[in-house]
Amino acid sequence: MVESVACPAIRKVRAECPTAWAQLMEALVAERRPDRPVPPMAGTAAVGAVVHLLATAVEEGRDLSSMSGILADSSYRLLPA
């Protein structure tokens, strides 16, 4: 995701992937909890948070293998569970 910004040939795909990911997350939450509507843009916020956290970790030279818990927790907290 982060590196794809530099490649014009895949910018369109790069723009479509987070949208599809956000829609999938929102649909899964809506299916699991029909009694709690998913706020508009909640999936987009969750995906944006994950991408930002990964970009920051890469820039700071962190070990990405330790990021999975942080990424899952961030997404979980931005979407109604």
Residues of the chain where predicted confidence (pLDDT) is lower than 50: none
Half-sphere exposure of 55 (CA within 13 A, CB side): 11
What residue ranges in the chain does DSSP mark as E strands? Answer: none
Alpha carbons 36 and 47: distance in angstroms, whole number: 20
Q: What is the pLDDT of residue 3?
A: 60
Q: What is the pLDDT of residue 28?
A: 84
pLDDT in tens, 60-71: 888 888 777 777
CB 57 within 8 A of CB 67: yes
